[in-house]
């Protein structure tokens, strides 16, 4: 016995393909635009994107014209992007498939600017009509809901089909996109997208671009390991001659060699590291010298209580984006940024609200609504202090004296750590 699935269920669970399912999505979109009651819910990622785009003021009837980057700027971004290293691999693994499927491959940077595009010649000409061209901006704030822009916001692979696009002139298109991360620091570096006429939709497109994105990340990782091996051969004779504690790391902080101290996988480095004396939170005062492909870091014997004037530090907890949470620590000597997990962001947010400090049981109540979960809190705080020991004190847990703390909130209170159920965050969202 078969059970007929209603259009509303189809709309929520899968990419709409049938004429009726597309009509349901179209009606849902029109209702969302008019502020009326939605007859059926779109897929969760599409509904969330529509909400963001509505708040940002994108016009559903707007043109998709975009101010293109100058070619010199496109070339500069290509050279700076790790994706440039793997373009031959992307061409080999995806472009021929896209051409045969009457689609094109588009690769963007982290801002959603198109840096490369290849594929079917006829589709490339059609893409010019919607400004899906090199140098164009395809972030959600520019083009509304689309696979490129929505994948950049959600940090997950996304497929957007026909009337799921927010801007009406894109309803004749289908696209699937996957974000690409740099495995050296887990930083988002761009998006790989497959686009074509709506009639060329295929449910496997999403899995395909996701697989190709992972293949690109693997290639970047392999190249990184080769670079570490080269740095290790350069650093080994230098480290053998040095006394005291010293490390050789690449430009991302990954270890190539060490002497006089236990090895670490990665050394957190300031964002703009310069040769000379540098205060590193995990080591104290260090002397840094450039190596081919990295840095030689020598720990000095100066007192470990930090620089003098430099005891003044500023911490910026950036919670303005649902993903990509960071904490920035600045002193008179150096500045560096650490990415945060959602749990660590919750804990630092609670400490930022309670500058007088919190006990483990109080933090457990703040985060879990259960004051008995102190073991979990202590373990998580211990992990945070591996990178932030110079600005975090304990007994009770708190930001240290003389540390200036700023929290950057999202524009809308409802977007504050939107997936968090921590009582301290929920209360802040309600307070608005």
Find, among 152, 148, 153, the residue nearest to 193 by Cα.
148
Place of tokens 């929505």: 150
If you compute the radius of gyration of the chain from its CA atoms, what whole number of angstroms results?
A: 25
Q: Would 122 be classed as within a structural domain? A: yes
Q: Is there a single domain that holds both residue 97 and residue 156?
A: yes
CATH number at residue 397: 1.10.10
Domain membership of residue 15 as a residue range: 1-42
Q: Is there a single domain that holds both residue 100 and residue 22?
A: no
Structural tokens at position 46: 């599409």
Q: Is there a single domain that holds both residue 96 and residue 130?
A: yes
CA pair distance 276, 267, nearest whole angstrom: 17
Q: Is there a single domain that holds both residue 145 and residue 36?
A: no
Find, among 220, 217, 224, the residue nearest to 293 by Cα.
224
Residue 372 is predicted with a pLDDT of 93
Domain end, chosen from 222, 250, 272, is at 222
| DSSP labels, 93-123 | IIIHHHHHTTEEEEEE-TT-BEEEEEE-HHH
Q: Is there a single domain that holds both residue 260 and residue 321?
A: no
Residue 14 is predicted with a pLDDT of 66
Pairing of strands 335-339, 326-330: antiparallel
What is the total count of domains within the chain?
4
Q: Is there a single domain that holds both residue 18 and residue 148?
A: no
Q: Is there a single domain that holds both residue 70 and residue 203?
A: yes
Residue 144 is predicted with a pLDDT of 95
Q: Would 247 be classed as within a structural domain? A: yes
Query: Is the omega angle on the peptide bond into residue 396 within 30 degrees of 0, that is, cis?
Result: yes
CA pair distance 225, 323, nearest whole angstrom: 27
Structural tokens at position 274: 């310069």
290 forms beta bridges with: 295
Cβ contacts of 122 within 8 Å, gap of 6 or more: 102
Burial of 292 (0-12, 13-18, 19+ CB in 10 A): exposed
Q: Is there a single domain that holds both residue 65 and residue 211?
A: yes
CA pair distance 13, 19, nearest whole angstrom: 16
Query: Taking a C-beta distance cutoff of 8 angstroms, is the pair 421, 364 a contact?
Result: no
The DSSP call for residue 49 is: H
Place of tokens 């927010």: 166
Q: Would 96 be classed as within a structural domain? A: yes
Find, among 405, 375, 367, 368, the residue nearest to 388 by Cα.
405
Residue 2 is predicted with a pLDDT of 33
Residue 397 is predicted with a pLDDT of 94
| 423-431 vs 342-353: helix crossing angle, rounded to 10 | 70
280 forms beta bridges with: 284
Q: How many CB atoms lie within 10 A of CB 372?
A: 10
Q: What is the mean pLDDT of each run of 10 residues along the chain (432 residues)?
A: 34 56 70 70 87 90 92 94 91 86 95 95 95 96 96 95 93 96 91 95 93 95 95 92 91 93 88 81 85 91 48 82 78 71 94 94 95 92 82 88 88 86 92 78
Cβ contacts of 139 within 8 Å, gap of 6 or more: 111, 112, 148, 149, 152
Q: Is there a single domain that holds both residue 68 and residue 215?
A: yes
Q: Is there a single domain that holds both residue 322 and residue 195?
A: no
């Amino acid at each position: 016995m078969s059970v007929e699935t209603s259009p509303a269920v189809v709309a929520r669970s899968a990419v709409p393909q049938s004429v009726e399912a597309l009509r349901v999505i179209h009606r849902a979109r029109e209702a969302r635009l008019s502020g009326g009651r939605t007859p059926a819910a779109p897929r969760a990622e599409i509904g969330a994107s529509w909400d963001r785009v509505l708040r940002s003021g994108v016009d559903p009837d707007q043109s998709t014209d975009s101010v293109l980057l100058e070619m010199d700027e496109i070339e500069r971004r290509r050279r700076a992007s790790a994706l440039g290293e793997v373009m031959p691999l992307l061409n080999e693994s995806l472009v021929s498939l896209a051409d045969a499927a009457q689609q094109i491959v588009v690769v963007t940077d982290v801002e959603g600017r198109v840096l490369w595009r290849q594929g079917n010649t006829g589709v490339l000409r059609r893409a010019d009509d919607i400004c899906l061209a090199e140098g164009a901006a395809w972030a959600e704030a520019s083009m509304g809901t689309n696979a490129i822009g929505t994948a950049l916001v959600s940090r997950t692979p996304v497929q957007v089909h026909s009337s799921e696009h927010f801007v009406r002139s894109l309803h004749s298109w289908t696209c699937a996109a996957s974000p690409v991360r740099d495995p050296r620091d887990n930083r988002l570096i761009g998006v790989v997208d497959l686009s074509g006429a709506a009639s060329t939709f295929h449910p496997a497109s999403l899995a395909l671009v996701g697989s190709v994105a992972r293949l690109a990340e693997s290639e970047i990782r392999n190249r990184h390991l080769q670079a570490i091996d080269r740095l290790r051969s350069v650093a080994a004779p230098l480290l053998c001659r040095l006394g005291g504690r010293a490390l050789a790391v690449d430009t991302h902080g990954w270890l190539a060699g060490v002497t006089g101290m236990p090895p670490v996988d990665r050394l957190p480095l300031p964002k703009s590291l310069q040769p000379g004396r540098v205060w590193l939170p995990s080591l104290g005062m260090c002397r840094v010298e450039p190596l081919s492909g990295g840095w030689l870091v020598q720990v000095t014997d100066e007192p470990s209580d930090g620089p003098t004037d430099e005891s003044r530090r500023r911490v910026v907890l950036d919670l303005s984006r649902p993903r990509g949470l960071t904490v920035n620590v600045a002193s008179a000597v150096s500045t560096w940024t650490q990415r945060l997990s959602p749990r660590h962001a919750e804990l630092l947010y609670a400490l930022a609200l309670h500058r007088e400090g919190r006990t483990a049981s109080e933090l457990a109540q703040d985060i879990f609504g259960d004051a008995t979960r102190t073991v979990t809190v202590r373990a998580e705080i211990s992990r945070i202090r591996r990178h932030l020991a110079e600005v975090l004190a304990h007994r009770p847990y708190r930001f240290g004296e003389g540390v200036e703390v700023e929290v950057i909130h999202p524009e809308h209170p409802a977007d504050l750590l939107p997936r968090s159920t921590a009582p301290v965050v929920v209360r802040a969202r309600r307070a608005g």
